[in-house]
Structures are given as structure tokens and as C-alpha cells.
Amino acid sequence: MNDSAADLSQRLLQLRTAQRSSPMPDWATRAHRLRRLEKMLLEQREAFAAAINADFGCRPREETDLLEIYPSLSAIRHTLSKGRRWMKPRRRLADLLFLPARTEMRPQPRGVVGIIVPWNYPLYLAIGPLVDALGAGNRAMLKMSEFTPRFSALFAEQVARYFKPDEVTVVTGDAEVAQAFSALPFDHLLFTGSTAVGHHVMRAAAANLTPVTLELGGKSPAIVGPGARFDHAVERIVFGKMVNAGQTCIAPDYVLLPRARVAEFIDTATRTVAKMYPQLAQGGQYSSIVSDRQYQRLVGLRDGAVAAGASVHPLSASSEDAARRLLPPQLLGNVTDAMAVMREEIFGPLLPLLPYDTLDEAIAYVTTHPHPLALYLFEQNAGRIEQVLSQTHAGGVSVNDTIYHVAQHNLPFGGVGSSGTGGYHGEAGFRTFSHIKPVFRQARVNGAGMLNPPYGSRFRRMLELMLKRG
């Protein structure tokens, strides 16, 4: 059942009232909440996977385990092992002229965190930020996607079993509910989704001066360098593009590769797909597109590109099946920036190939387009790797692989520019959902009074000393 927009404010009030009664929960309380989250995942693993599969039409259980269950559990366990240390104040000496005073940075929960969850990884992109929010001592309110209704309803039901409504609460509903949710005066709001919707979320949050973390998307390039291990590069690009049928915000969106190797890329990718998915249409290991709307959008991107002069290179002998929303992977050649497929994030199993003559040309292409959420570089030469890393902007980078930089607890995950703002995961997530409160502790014996008026010769001597020492 969908939640009404009118119900949201009351839920937020319940969470805020509870947070104010216990604004700084100790580590035992935080750890208990995280262990309940872990317990829910372990006990409901089968049911969650089945609900996601039903929403997609076909979502391989193996992919749900690998890309949703595993990283969710891993994030919980990482925070359980490190969180007590993260929440301790970090003490520092005061600046030289203010000694013997002391300073410290004291993490405090922001309060109540709002989390807007997308449809493509509805479990992990709910649990991941929730882990960081709970580890930082917050309470949380989640808005689930209406495009995965079975999972959203089940997740809301199970969260209500494992958590009190003044700890974590889950909201379901359509775009109207999402709009009302974005306008609530949270202490922090995290949104994962498209850049277009991100604009609306940021505007709504601005009315309350709510700080936001936006995890958006964009067109993430894969650069095959002149010195790449070519077969390895093709394999990893195919893997990154085909898990969840390309419905991944950090999936490779297009490939920049040496002009002389385009035909070789097509041949190698075809063999790789046959090896990874020997029964693509029947094996149950290749995901369906989540909805008819998304399926038709992808077909429209491809057909529009073909009408404008692009070529299509199927990577599988399996046929498209609109009734099952099965769209086999396809490479696109002869693409131009005038085509919608090169202007919009694809979010599906279409992969344009852009040949280049020099690596400088490839870098220039990336830098003259909006900053992507991810960048993938395949190269063995250290100098070329450094050239790409130093001359491009991206939310995150994997060198000689795809996707897996997002699974590193010690690396923040986030975008830059149009691909997002802010980041989370691990300690970075703890700090995103904390206010790092600075504290200055003055010593009993100190020289602060020497700066008091009236401003005589002693004051001027002190000021000159301060100006010299900076």
C-alpha cells in the first residue's frame, strides 16, 4: 500500500522527537541497530531476492547476492568493526600562539536522514546509506522506488518488524509522494537517481537548507589505452556492462579505443558474451529490463541512432523479446554526439564504440563532456595511466577493471559536477552523516587577556608578533 503525502510529516516528527530524546547514542546502541539490519538481511535474503526477481521479470539470484546482499552485509560488518573508533573525538593542539589551549573535532549525528532509493539496485542502495546513517548515530526515513513495487512493499514490511518506527521507517508511493518526501526538513538528504530528477530534489531541499548528497550518473567512459591487455579489457568492459543488463549507474556507457582495433573489439566482445552467457535467453542468468517504459526507451535510443547513421553489432544470437523485456547486448558504431544515445545516460545493454587516433584525443573527448560518475582505464604504461588520472575528472576510477571501485570501504563513492555531489561508504559515509563539531578548550592559564582593550603598547606588541608568525 502506498503512503500518502500527508503521512510523511508525522513520521518525520516521530523520528525527530526520538532523536532529540537521545541525540548522541552510544556505540552499543548503534551496533545493536546495525546487527538487527544484518539479521534482517540474512533472514530475509531469499524473500528479498525473489521480490526483486519478480519486479524485474528476471533478475539472476546470483547477481542479487553478488551486487546487493554481499556489499550490504560487508558494509555492515565493516562499520561494526570500525565505527567505535570513528565516533571518538579527534584531539589536536591549538595553533602555536594559542597554546596551551587544546582543540578537538567531535562527530555528532546530524539527526534524521532522508534516503531516496532508486529501482536498479533497490536493496543495496537502501542498505548502503542506511548503514552509514545508523553508524553515525542517526535515525532514518527511506523512500522506496515505485518501479520495484513488490520489493518496496516487502522491504517496508520487514523494516517495520526489525526496527521501531522511531528508529527507521520506510515510505512507499509514487512520484507525488517522492516530491513531498524531498520537501521534508531532514537534517540530511541522500538521493540516488538520474541527473534530471536530482535537479528537482536539490531545489526542494534548498527550501529547507537541507544539506544533500546526490548520487547521479551520466556517461561513464571506458578508455582502452594503446598499451592495454586487450582481451582482458574487453572482458571487464563486457562484465561491467552486462550485469543487471547494464542498469547500473556506473556501467561503462561508451568505449574509447584505438581506431585500428574496433573490429577486434567487436569479435572479442562477441566471444566473451558467448562464454559468459551461453544460454542468454533461457539460462536465467541475464537480467530483464525493469519495465516496459525502460525497454521502449532503450529500443528508441538504438533505433534513433540507426536512423541517424549508426551501425548495430549484436553480441548474442538471442532475439529481443519485448514481452519478457529481454534486450540482448549490442554494440553501436559510427555514433555521433548529435544522437540521443550519446547525449543521454544509456542505462541498458547498448554500448557505443568511439575510435580515437591518439590518447590525447580520447582524453580531450572526456574532458569536453560533463564529468562522469565513473571512468575506466585499461592500460599498462604507468605514464599513460598518470596522464589520464591527472587530466580527467570523474566521481571514481577503476584502472584495469570496471565497477569494483564502488566496493572499497576505504574509498568514498560519489560524483562530481553533473554526476553528483558529496560521497559516502565506510568512514566517508560516517562523516557525511555526521556534523564534525569543532571544540576549542581554553587552558586555565592563558594569554587571551593580553588582546583585550584598551589597545595600548602591549596589545600592539602582541599583534605584531601574531602578524609575523601568521
Catalytic residue, from 235, 249, 379, 427: name it: 249
In the set 215, 235, 379, 427, the catalytic residue is 215
Q: Find cell 542517526 and name the residue.
A: 138
- 205 burial level (CB within 10 Å; 0-12, 13-18, 19+): buried
Alpha-helix residue ranges (DSSP H) falling in 368-433 = 382-391, 426-432
* Residue that has been written with the C-alpha cell 571487464 in this structure: 236
Q: Report d(CA 65, CA 88) in Å as an integer.
A: 34
* Alpha carbon distance 287, 62 (integer Å): 11
Q: Which sign, positive or negative, has the C-alpha torsion 17, 40, 173, 208?
A: positive
Has 361 been annotated as catalytic?
A: no
Look at the alpha carbons of 80, 81, 83, 89 in this order and tell me if their dihedral is positive or negative: positive
Is the C-alpha dihedral spanning 449, 454, 456, 462 positive or negative? Answer: positive
Answer positive or negative: Cα dihedral of 294, 336, 243, 156: negative
CB 358 within 8 A of CB 352: no
Catalytic residue list contains 427: no
DSSP string, 58-83: ---HHHHIIIIIHHHHHHHHHHHHHH
Whether the CB-CB separation of 198 and 191 falls below 8 Å is answered with yes
Helices (H) and strands (E) in the chain — how many of each? 15, 18
Q: What is the largest CA-CA distance in the chain?
A: 89
Q: Are 414 and 180 in contact (CB under 8 A)?
A: no
Would you name the residues annotated as active-site residues?
A: 215, 249
